[in-house]
């Protein structure tokens, strides 16, 4: 079972460059999320999607864009990378059932912006 797969796992960018992180899940989940993890800050929600074709802002959306053209994929884009976006990014997915609520996480993508 692949579960939630993130690519790439590591990336180094220069300030101003753009890139896209891809998240793919094979569990037919409706909900998908992008978080960033920074030391002492926990996980902060960037954007999320409650279904194909929908996206919504989380706690820290500035500087990021997302798209959910296919149910199984959730893309996170950085149009003009800044050093403040150096972080570990986690994608997660879940069933629609709110009572269940369990998130399934990818292994993370470590991004460094120089």
Partner 1 sequence: AQSVTQLGSHVSVSEGALVLLRCNYSSSVPPYLFWYVQYPNQGLQLLLKYTSAATLVKGINGFEAEFKKSETSFHLTKPSAHMSDAAEYFCAVFRDDKIIFGKGTRLHILP
- Positions that interact with partner 1 (CB under 8 A): 4, 31, 33, 35, 40-45, 48, 50, 56, 58-59, 90, 92, 94, 98-99, 101-103, 105-108
Question: Smallest distance from the beta carbon of 76 to partner 1, in angstroms?
Answer: 15
Question: Smallest distance from the beta carbon of 98 to partner 1, in angstroms?
Answer: 6
Question: Smallest distance from the beta carbon of 103 to partner 1, in angstroms?
Answer: 6
Nearer to partner 1, 31 or 81 (CB): 31
**Distances in whole angstroms, Cα of residue 62 to Cα of each of 35, 47, 72, 78, 80:** 13, 10, 24, 10, 11
Q: Are strands 31-38 and 109-113 parallel, antiparallel or unpaired?
A: unpaired
Question: Smallest distance from the beta carbon of 87 to partner 1, in angstroms?
Answer: 14
Nearer to partner 1, 15 or 27 (CB): 27
The C-alpha atoms of residue 56 and residue 51 are separated, in whole angstroms, by 10
Assigned token pair, 63: 């500087």
Q: Choose among 101, 105, 102, 97: nearest CA to 3.
A: 105
Nearer to partner 1, 87 or 94 (CB): 94
């Amino acid at each position: 079972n692949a579960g939630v797969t993130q690519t790439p796992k590591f990336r180094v960018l220069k300030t101003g460059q753009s890139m896209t992180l891809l998240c793919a899940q094979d569990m037919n989940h409706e909900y998908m999320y992008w978080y960033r993890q920074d030391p002492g800050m926990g996980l902060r929600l960037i954007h999320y999607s409650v279904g194909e074709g929908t996206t919504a802002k989380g706690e820290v959306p500035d500087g990021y864009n997302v798209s959910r053209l296919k149910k199984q994929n959730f893309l996170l884009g950085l149009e003009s990378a800044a050093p403040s976006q150096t972080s570990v990014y986690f994608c997660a997915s879940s069933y629609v059932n709110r009572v269940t609520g369990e998130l399934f996480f990818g292994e993370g993508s470590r991004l460094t912006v120089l």
